[in-house]
């Protein structure tokens, strides 16, 4: 069954090597019944020929802003009114910067600025370019100024330049699945219009250039919750420690390493936040003076090593007491013993509205495992969720929260 029948999608292709994936993206969208029109930047045309995309979409590819044949009817404005959704894939660092600056210097940026439909951006760039402060500033500006814009990815992994890290464009199949979910959703979306902020994964506290303090968190539970929040209509920001997980489609991910970096990112994204989930396993201590060179036992004749560690900031307690405190502050309690007594005390001590308690240190559940079981602890009741895979568990937890908690 075709799932995107009669849906109109405008695909904008920026100038990056990931443009080669656009041919498969068009093919998959058309196979699902969508009508696809393609607009290319000059850079995009350097990586893939318009004729290829014309053959796959069945429509002429648009490349020129000042097209003599179209300008009499203001063709670029007409095209901006045509789609149900605009997808920019790849959305390069250059394209994001020009959009953030409000530039209309070629057809694609002009169409986006003139459009009144949702705009989805699939970033694709070198990992250093993605993590650059100016790129992150542009991302923040675009989402703050355009609440109906959202990001698909990026993913993390090997890149064409030979480096490894965040910045890979999501695979075409993942983007198509996200569009199917969005454009065919007659689904229950109780979080529509609400901003949800989550932390996930471990933090790493450097000791020297090659060593750090950390824990066994995989980030899977936090990522599963982020995915479910997005499916329920929320605008999701995920502050993630170092993990090897793909970013859920439609979720904005901010990568950090240390607890202090995580807190700074959380505070930056707190304004207008409806709910905060502290799912990250934050390292309790950090070394204030990191060694500039690798600590070598032999050279320094070390029989033992004393580290003068300082406590990291308490992110959950900070958010719970913040002047921009969200309506709901939800923490996690990962315990190896006395789970419920410790979790109950933590909720009160930290000032959280809810605590999601889970047992760790077991082979088949908790950190690193695929499965988990959770007990939700509020001030007036508790509710348990049975052992299951983390994706299913996240769905059950979010359904319960939306039906029983957030509406109160």
Q: 375-400: per-residue pLDDT in tens?
A: 999 999 999 998 888 888 998 999 99
pTM comes to: 0.59
CATH number assigned to the domain with residue range 1-186, chosen from the 4 options 2.40.30.10, 3.40.50.720, 1.10.3720.10, 3.40.50.1950: 3.40.50.1950
Alpha helix segments (H runs only) across 58-132:
68-71, 75-81, 93-100, 107-114, 127-131
DSSP labels, 109-121: HHHHHH--S-EEE
Q: How far is 400 from 402, CA to CA, in rounded Å?
A: 6
Between 181 and 201, name the one with better pLDDT. Answer: 201
Determine the pLDDT at residue 73.
44
Query: At the topology level of CATH, where does 188-408 sit?
Result: Rossmann fold (3.40.50)
In sign, the C-alpha dihedral spanning 217, 218, 221, 227 is: positive
Determine the pLDDT at residue 128.
83
Percent pLDDT > 70 in the chain is 89
Percent pLDDT > 90 in the chain is 38
- Torsions phi, psi for 344 (to 5 deg): -60, -45
Determine the pLDDT at residue 72.
46
262: left (phi over 0), alpha (psi -120 to 50) or beta: alpha
Please determine, for residue 27, whether its predicted confidence score (pLDDT) is greater than 70.
Answer: yes
Q: Which two tokens stand for residue 305?
A: 């090593």
Domain boundaries, the chain: 1-186, 188-408
Residues involved in catalysis: 161
Same fold for the pair 1-186 and 188-408: yes
- As a 3-state breakdown, the chain gives helix, strand, coil percent values, each rounded to 5, of 35, 25, 40
Please determine, for residue 252, whether its predicted confidence score (pLDDT) is greater than 60.
Answer: yes
Q: pLDDT-derived band of residue 74, with 50, 70 and 90 as boundaries? A: very low
Full strand arrangement of the beta sheet holding 235-240: 252-255, 235-240, 195-200, 273-278, 328-335, 354-359, 371-377, 382-389
Determine the pLDDT at residue 210.
84
Determine the pLDDT at residue 33.
86
């Amino acid at each position: 069954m075709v799932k995107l029948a009669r849906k109109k999608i405008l695909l904008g292709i920026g100038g990056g090597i990931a443009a080669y994936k656009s041919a498969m993206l068009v093919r998959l969208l058309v196979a699902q019944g969508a009508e696809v029109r393609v607009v290319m930047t000059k850079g995009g045309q350097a990586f893939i020929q318009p004729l290829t995309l014309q053959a796959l979409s069945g429509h002429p590819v648009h490349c020129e802003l000042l097209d003599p044949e179209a300008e009499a009817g203001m063709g670029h404005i007409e095209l901006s009114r045509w789609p149900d959704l605009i997808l920019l894939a790849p959305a390069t660092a250059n394209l994001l910067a020009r959009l953030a600056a409000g530039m209309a210097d070629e057809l694609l940026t002009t169409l986006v600025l003139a459009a009144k439909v949702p705009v989805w951006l699939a970033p694709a760039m070198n990992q250093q370019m993605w993590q650059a402060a100016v790129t992150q500033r542009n991302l923040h500006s675009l989402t703050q100024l355009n609440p109906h814009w959202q990001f698909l990815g990026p993913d993390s992994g090997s890149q064409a330049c030979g480096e490894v890290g965040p910045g890979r464009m999501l695979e075409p199949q993942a983007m198509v699945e996200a569009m199917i979910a969005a454009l065919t959703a007659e689904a229950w979306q109780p979080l529509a219009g609400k901003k949800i902020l989550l932390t996930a994964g471990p933090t790493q506290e450097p000791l020297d250039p090659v060593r750090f303090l950390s824990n066994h968190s995989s980030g899977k539970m936090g990522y599963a919750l982020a995915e479910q929040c997005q499916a329920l209509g929320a605008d999701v920001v995920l502050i993630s420690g170092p993990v090897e997980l793909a970013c859920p489609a439609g979720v904005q991910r901010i990568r950090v390493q240390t607890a202090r970096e995580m807190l700074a990112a959380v505070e930056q994204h707190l304004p207008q936040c409806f709910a905060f989930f502290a799912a990250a396993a934050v390292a309790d201590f950090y070394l204030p003076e990191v060694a500039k060179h690798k600590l070598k036992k032999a050279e320094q004749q070390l029989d033992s090593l004393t580290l003068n560690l300082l406590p990291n900031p308490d992110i959950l307690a900070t958010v719970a007491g913040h002047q921009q405190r969200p309506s709901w502050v939800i923490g996690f309690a990962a315990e190896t013993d006395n789970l419920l007594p410790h979790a109950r005390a933590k909720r009160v001590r930290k000032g959280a509205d809810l605590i999601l308690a889970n047992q760790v240190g077991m082979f088949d559940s908790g950190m690193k495992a695929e499965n988990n079981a959770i007990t939700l602890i509020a001030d007036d009741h508790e509710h348990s969720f049975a052992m299951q895979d983390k994706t299913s568990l996240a769905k059950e937890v979010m359904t319960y929260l939306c039906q029983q908690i957030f509406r109160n």
